[in-house]
Amino acid sequence: MDPEHASASGRTKPQRHRSSHREIADELRNRIRSGVLRPGERMPTQAKLADEFGVERGAVRQALRILQSERLLTNVSKGSPATVAAVPGPARPPAGPAAPPQPTMVGLAPRIAAAFAVPHVRIDALCLTSVSLTLAIGEPLRQIHAGRLKPAKIDVRLLLPSRDIDLAFPTPVAADDGGLLHRRWLAQRNAQGLVLRQNLLALCTTHGIDVRVSFRALPFTPPVKLYLLNGAEALFAYYTLGRREREIGQEHVETYDADGTRSMLFAFEERAGQRDAAFVEQSRLWFDALWETISSDLVLTS
């Protein structure tokens, strides 16, 4: 019997999970982002944190140094408790039933930025093109280059419509436009996907970050867009169609189309309650099922 897990009466005590310093940093980071620990507030002592997480103080100090490197904590030392930085990194917007829906380009960017504050960033997206995601990732990329965010690994998966299908939208109001709309959409899908991939893969060279970006093609036009962030948050929006005139080359084409950047984004977070947790889980299962079954390899070309 391990004496460390025996009581004075000789009975064994249940072994306690010993958190790693990265797990401790993740939990404390979440407390700061969610407002449980507020700017200017002093952290619990290292002794109290060590007792809470069942580790030696050295692991706590490593976790605190990670958060200090992310500028979330100040005064990290062996002496007095650290302090939550007065101006923390990207704040996580509210989620759950109380969170109001927002246009995609208003609501997506701050949530993507907050998602990059963990060591292993995981983003799954299903959309018509990657325009909104490419724009939203701009801010965390700037934060990484400025040294304020330091993820160790980034995994991004995108499900986009196949080039080989007749899109439900955008589609011409008239019976035939000679394929102008399809070629325009395909060029945008490929160009934005390539920009997204190149910007992320560049982090391998510049910052030594392990980056993987994967694309697969759907055999249908998605009527909704979905973003899954770190397996803990789901952002959902409808593509709402309207009749619009588009100028393509020298042609003016009447179309049925949707402006994805303005689609109202609803936010669900697994920690916001049973309803949100179920939605996040089912969204993840739905995405994984599409990824693993009816989607196919997608090769982007310029």
pLDDT, tens digit, 9 for 90 and up, residues 128-177: 999 999 999 998 999 899 888 889 999 999 999 999 999 999 999 987 77
Residues ≥6 apart with Cβ < 8 Å to 185? 128, 129, 167, 170
Q: Structure pTM?
A: 0.70
Give the Cα separation of 71 and 38 in Å (integer): 14
Q: Does pLDDT of 288 surpass 90?
A: yes
Predicted local confidence at residue 4, as pLDDT: 34
User: For residue 9, with 0-12 CB atoms within 10 Å meaning exposed, 13-18 middle and 19 or more buried, which class applies?
Assistant: exposed
pLDDT digits (tens, 9 = 90+) for 196-226: 999 999 999 999 999 999 999 999 999 999 9
